[in-house]
Amino acid sequence: MTQLLPIDDFWQAQGPILDVRSPGEYGQGHLPSAVSFPLFSDAERAQVGTCYKQQGKETAIELGLELVGPKMVKLVKQAKALAPERQVRVHCWRGGMRSGSVGWLLETSGLEVSLLAGGYKSFRQWVRTTLATPRSVIVVGGMTGTGKTDILHALKGLGEQVLDLEGLANHRGSSYGALMMPPQPSTEHYENLIAEQWVGFDPHRTVWIEAESSQVGTCRVPPETMAQMEAAPTLEVIRSKAERLEILVDVYGQAMPAELIAATERLQKRLGGLRTQEAVEHIKRGELAAAAAIILMYYDQTYRHDLVRRGKDILTIDVSQMSALQAAQSLRYKVRTWNWLPAPP
């Protein structure tokens, strides 16, 4: 018998999650582990919606049946291929006719089906509630090129709880942040990804987050997350400028020169025409460290301005000549020494 489950129980149920909304709806945002399993294409969904508005529910249902009929065998075969254990979880937008119809079809075909009560809409409400749940946060700050992301990864390798806002956004958070990265998710789906990790964090342990502005590329950091970051203690890592330039060249040195030039030219209003042109000429000659030194003039100034604007007390730690692992170990030790939060286990 088909089960209708609230979101918490739906998460714990067995089987793949089949999102029966249209591909466009799925692309805008979905449960992180869900598989796109559309009952209608985007065009068909629009067609049924128009029919509903113009001719009423009954006619729209008949049109929907007409569109779905030829697909029924294919849908069943796809579901069985995805669910060798014959258990599936199904949802649509509001937990209405689309998920109910697919649930009936798959159950009739011998699968055990769990439906999400309230559909994706209820999941989005859960996302908002989850993101607002308090956690013990430490923000890791530092100027561009100090290797903050690598330090966070090293902290995660040490067993720490880490929320990688840049990793989830597929962006490094600057004009150059999209280089050599896959496409970014929508802001809606970015929130879904963050909530999935947030709910899994132990509330009695620290969550480490890299300092970010409210926008990471095209993804907006959830306001609930930003509020907790603003209220959290910040630990600033410091490296020499020479080390920072070396790190930046190592990160971006594999990018195509044309991409580096385009990203530099996007900074012209802030960097200034002359400095921008000088940096571009260095890139053309393969002198990436020299170009990065010019570009850091803008990023360092912006960073200092942001510190003043926030007016926060920030504790610093010099990690010069340290590997990412050594820096991570040093940060853990400092946190334990300062007794800000419960010591890591």
Predicted confidence (pLDDT) per residue in 126-184, tens digit: 999 999 999 999 999 999 999 999 999 999 999 999 999 999 999 998 889 999 999 99
**Which one of 101, 128, 155 terminates a domain?**
128
Identify the residue whose tokens are 């308090």: 134
Instruction: Answer yes or no: are the C-beta atoms of 154 and 324 closer than 8 Å.
Output: yes
Q: What is the mean pLDDT of residues 295-302?
A: 88
Do 254 and 186 reside in the same domain of the chain?
yes
Statement: residue 339 has pLDDT above 70: no
Question: Encoding tokens for residue 169?
Answer: 């956004």
Query: CA angle 300-303-309, nearest 5°?
Result: 145
Instruction: Provide the CATH number for the domain around residue 294.
Output: 3.40.50.300
Classify residue 107: in a domain, yes or no.
Answer: yes
User: Which of 95, 112, 128 is the C-terminal boundary of a domain?
Assistant: 128
Q: What is the pLDDT of residue 342?
A: 43
Structure tokens at 212: 């970010």
Number of domains in the chain: 2
Pair (122, 145) in one structural domain: no
* Residue 248 is assigned to a structural domain of this protein: yes
Active site amino acids:
92
**Sheet bearing 161-163, strands edge to edge:** 161-163, 206-210, 136-141, 234-238, 314-318
Q: What is the mean pLDDT of residues 219-247?
A: 95
The answer to whether residue 122 is domain-embedded is: yes
207 and 80 share one domain: no
* Per-residue pLDDT, 344: 41
Residues 9 and 114 reside in one and the same domain: yes
Neighbouring CB atoms inside 10 A of 90's CB total: 32
Q: Is the pLDDT of residue 341 over 70?
A: no
Q: Examine the domain organization and report whether 140 and 189 are in the same domain.
A: yes
Whether 213 and 264 share a structural domain: yes
Per-residue pLDDT, 311: 66
For the stretch 17-33, what's the b/e string if a residue is b when 16 or more beta carbons lie within 10 angstroms of its beta carbon?
A: bbbbbbeebbeebbbee
Separation CA 140–CA 333 (nearest Å): 14
What's the confidence (pLDDT) of residue 308?
65
Q: Region 242-264: what's the mean pLDDT? A: 94
- Segment 80-121, tens digit of pLDDT: 999 999 999 999 999 888 999 999 999 999 999 999 999 999
Q: Which residue bears the tokens 């692309």?
A: 27
**End residue of a domain, out of 67, 101, 128:** 128
pLDDT higher than 80, residue 17: yes
Asked if pLDDT for residue 306 goes beyond 80, the answer is: no
Is pLDDT above 70 for 310? no
| Bridge partners, 31 (sequence order) | none
pLDDT for the residue 64: 78
Do 284 and 313 sit in the same domain of this protein? yes
Beta bridge pairs of residue 35: 18
* Integer Cα distance of 18 and 99 in angstroms: 9
> Tokens 């010069």, residue?
320
Structural domain range at position 186? 133-338
CATH label of the domain that carries residue 31 = 3.40.250.10
Residue 343 has what pLDDT?
42
Query: Whole-prediction pTM value?
Result: 0.91
CA angle 255, 256, 259 (to 5 degrees): 95
Confidence of residue 203 (pLDDT cuts 50, 70, 90): very high
Give yes or no: residues 259 and 169 share one domain.
yes
* Within a domain: 269: yes
Angle at 87 between CA 81 and CA 88, to 5 degrees: 80
**Strand (E) or helix (H) holding 206:** strand 206-210
101 and 163 housed in the same domain: no
The percent of residues above 70 in pLDDT, for the chain, comes to 96
Pair (16, 137) in one structural domain:
no
Mean pLDDT, the chain, as a whole number? 92
Say if residue 154 is in the same domain as residue 14: no
Collapse the DSSP code of 160 into the 3-class scheme (helix H, G, I; strand E, B; otherwise coil) and give the result: coil
Task: Say whether both 199 and 266 belong to one domain.
Answer: yes
